[in-house]
Structure 1
Amino acid sequence: MVTDAWRPQINGVVRTLESIARELTSAGHDIAFLTPERFWTLPVPSYPEVRISLASLGAVSRQIEAAAPDHIHIATEGPLGLLARQYCLSHRLGFTTSFHTRFPEYVAMRVPVPQEWSYGYLRWFHAAAARTMVPTPSLRDDLLARGFDRLMLWSRGVDGTRFRPGPKTLFTDLPGPHLLYVGRVAAEKNVEAFLDLDIAGSRIVVGDGPDCARLQKAYPDAVFLGYRHGEELGELYRSADVLVFPSHTDTFGNVITEALASGTPVAAFPVTGPRDVLSDPKAGALDDNLNIAVARALTLDRADARAHGERFTWAASAAQFFAGLEPLRAGPQRLAAAG
């Protein structure tokens, strides 16, 4: 598994890969990760937790050959992903990729680069793969319309033991309802739509990122808790009345399934990710007006949210992932042409 996204990053890509690795290891498979931890890195400006690997093709080749894999999966389109792709093509090896992040939209929010240029790069990158795994049907349809091909669904799971229903133990000193946001505090997450909600109660932000200091100053009545993990994060979900997911650009939204597994209904915009995950209107509310979605979510039964969350398991996700892997020696003629 080749990934440019790795610890200390806290995001859905890292959580997904770690969860899949645990499931596959418990099923008897050996998983080796090729990550930035093995190389010199430089921090991305404004995102110091995200680091760019300064690796060479020779170094990446040696790492892959030392692992002697039966399958290679390239999870990200960054420097390590590019080098692993080059290695596979030069050795006529089959491999798979996955599409996790809408980087074209993220880049366009920061620099004046047309999205189609970025999508052109991503089309080129994934075209060489035997299959590109995508998390939701709506993302698959969007990418097909943009000229991507050989797409297969690879859904996500949730740890139903860590994220589970229970008593409301937090926020007792804050006015209700208690509205929760969990995720990176950055422009692409649209956190201000959450903070601008015209609904009485408390807004609690769990996470950090480049926009955190600015938003703390602009919204002094909101509660900013920084990153939380493990049992503490589960307790926050259980104590919230609604998880608000304001992003327009996420491809899935792991925090949605974590909230549902905790028995917490979700409010979101009807976009890729939420409209796929929140397929049961008893578990969450979707609306172009986020105020309406939150108001509706506040009326939902927590037992229904938990029941829907139980549909997502990492065991099923891992089985789906493994079934999509490609033997290394498959399709040399097509791979050579794609290079």
Structure 2
Amino acid sequence: MLERTVRPDSAIAPAAPGPVGIWFAGGRDGRLAVYAPCEGGLRRWTEVRPGSQDWGRPVLVPVRGLTHLSVTQDANAYVHFVGRRELRKPDGRTVVDIVYAIQYQPGRPVSGWRSLGNPHKGTEAAALLGEPSVVVTASGMVHIFVRNADGGLALRREQSDGKWRGWDDRGEAGITSALAAIALGSGRIELFATTVEGVLHWSQQSAGGALGHGRPARVAALPGSLAALETGPDRPTFYWTDPDGHGVVAYRAGAWPVALGGIPGEGPHSALRALLDGYDCTVLAHRGAGGTAVVGVGVTEDEGNGVWWSDTGVPCLASPALALDAWGRVVVAVAGQDGAVEVARQTDGPGLTLSEWRRL
């Protein structure tokens, strides 16, 4: 477990070519941590106290060669990291694999990064591996989904005894970009992927059951824009950007897609449920077409009554991250053009009013 504190002036160095994004995690002690890519790995800041405006000094989580990263948490608040890595070998070859690490407590070191290999043995096919998506079920089993070189779905799972099964080729074809996977409170997993012909939707019928084959959904989504949120008991809503320029779309199985407006740019959406003015609301965030962070709010599963969008005017490199602090307030984080992280927090005003942005 190797980490080190970095000077604040070195913490704003932009990341080398690698993962673009920003991620929140919440500890069982109520403190939030925020992660952002940098040269040589990830930077992590942790709240000094739960719900505090003060953040500790940045800590470097070293890992070389990451090109993409997926982050999730389990019921114990353990943080699971799954990355796609490219490493240049002394003989000139570039080796591509999937790596995994875990953090058990906020502010504590991340475990060593373990290679989970690549579903492809050949170098050329291995290099075409897509970016991973990780979820952890209620039973604690880690599932990693990734698009393989043929545009199919590959899966690797952790067993109940902590050992990893081999890579499982799920078949399918035509997957074009990152997958959106969600582990529901019931233990079921649902998965969405964009394809050359539309969207595929996988759904377990019961916790631990077979994932089955992807079912075509008669909808179209901009590749790389998918996100998922559990908006009701055992019921996910999927969000994406309409490829024909009609803004954000919300979809639940068995219902028609609903247009939510907005003018998103490229990249995925972030989604969060929060209690605002006594209402169960869904907060959405994305990088707008103008390159700034845009936040929207609407009543959960009541999309027909509209979503209210607000452009923060704050430039960001990727979709903002959303979280709730220890007091239930919405917190928004962005990675700026210079690699710096800025954070804003819900104030006591009506609706979702954000504080001034603070540069970490």
- Give the TM-score band, short-chain normalised: under 0.3
TM-score of the superposed pair, with normalisation by structure 2: 0.25
**Which is richer in strand?**
2
Larger relative helix fraction: 1
Report which of the two structures shows the higher radius of gyration computed on alpha carbons: 1
